[in-house]
Amino acid sequence: MPMKYQDSRSQTRIITIDRRQPKARQPKASDTSLHISSPSSSPSKDTTVHIPNQPPVSNTSLLLRIMTRLAIPTTATVAQKLPTIVAGLYLHQHNIISLHLAPKTSAPEFEKVVLCLNTGDTKTGLSILQFFGMLDAEVKDGSESERRCHAQEMESWISKSPSFATTDDGELEAPFSELNIHLATRPCIVESNSGVKRFSVADMILWASIRANRCARREMEGFGNVVRWFRGVLEEMEEVRGCVEECMNGEVEVEGRDGEWRWEWEGDW
């Protein structure tokens, strides 16, 4: 079903994403489908993106995948939406959540990216990323105390992600120095669930925060450990890269309004 909302003039608008360049890749039988909705009047424009599926998480405390819907306002900047999209798709790929992307036009009640849970609860901003981190920590193998320590480490690093969004070169040096030291003896920011995936969602969030900021990418070149880690995450991202590009480069059409709008996305990966 397409996402709808009532604006201040009580006019219902229906939002859709169309793929700019359909990809030839055929999904495998084990693929996980991510549906991006379109108006029922244009069924041919429905987009289903297939993400290679990974082995199910090993911790049986999460018996069911959490159903989520990510509402993305068209006014959101790359820095606002990329970490959330990347983290959400990564969890979707690894069977931790079932994600539905729902881009929306600019409306007073949708000025920020909103995560809607099947419980009726909603989260915005950094709380979305912290929630994703909590879910990722919950499925880690080990005792309850080990998972609790893992969750605290995850939360600590995710809370640092906004510091990589600044465009002030002087303010970027300190967080990059801390990250560079942290990565001196380890391949990833937070160790993930061995045998299921190499990186944690905290790695994905910080990677996307840096990727979305041109100043941060330039500053990163002076920190060798960070560069090594960044390239490693990029290799891991290859599985969901096409889907991220769908989300970032897609066209958004609004019923009853002329013109089109495209996600802001510049440069190669």
Residue 198 lies in a domain: yes
Do residues 240 and 51 make contact, with C-beta atoms less than 8 angstroms apart? yes
Q: Supply the pLDDT for residue 30.
A: 40
Q: Is the dihedral of CA 149, 146, 121, 71 positive or negative?
A: positive
Write the DSSP assignment of 30-65 as a string of letters.
TPEEEEE---TT-GGG-EEEEE---PPPS-TT--SP
Residue 113 lies in a domain: yes
Write the DSSP assignment of 144-159 as a string of letters.
HHHHHHHHHHHHHHHT
* Count of other CB atoms within 10 angstroms of residue 209: 23
Share of the chain above pLDDT 70, in %: 58
Share of the chain above pLDDT 90, in %: 26
- SS3 (DSSP) at 250: coil
Q: Supply the pLDDT for residue 108.
A: 53
CA distance 90 to 197: 10
Residue at token pair 């600590």: 156
Q: Is the pTM of this model over 0.85?
A: no
Q: Is the dihedral of CA 22, 47, 122, 118 positive or negative?
A: negative
- The better pLDDT of the pair 143, 188 is held by 188
Residue 59 lies in a domain: yes
Q: Domain range for residue 200? A: 31-258
- Domain of residue 122, CATH code: 1.20.1050.130
Q: b/e map of 164-194 (b: 16 or more CB within 10 Å)?
A: bbbeeeeebeebbeebbebbeeeebbbebbe
Structural domains of the chain, count: 1
Residue 187 lies in a domain: yes
Summarize pLDDT for 38-88 with one digit per residue, the tens.
333 333 333 334 444 444 333 333 334 567 777 777 677 788 888 988 898
CA distance 87 to 89: 6
Question: Helices in the chain by DSSP H: which ranges?
Answer: 78-93, 126-138, 144-158, 169-182, 201-211, 214-220, 224-249
Phi and psi at residue 57, to the nearest 5°: -65, 150
CA distance 150 to 136: 9
Contacts of 94 (CB under 8 A, 6+ apart): 54, 57, 196, 197
- SS3 (DSSP) at 166: coil
Residue 164 lies in a domain: yes
Residue 96 lies in a domain: yes
Summarize pLDDT for 76-120 with one digit per residue, the tens.
778 888 898 889 888 888 778 877 766 655 555 566 788 888 788
Residue 11 lies in a domain: no
State the number of CA atoms in the 13 A half-sphere of 246 facing the CB: 23
State the number of CA atoms in the 13 A half-sphere of 149 facing the CB: 6
Query: Which of the listed ranges 132-136, 197-201, 258-262 does the model predict with the highest average pLDDT?
Result: 132-136
Q: Supply the pLDDT for residue 34.
A: 44
Mean pLDDT of 185-205: 80
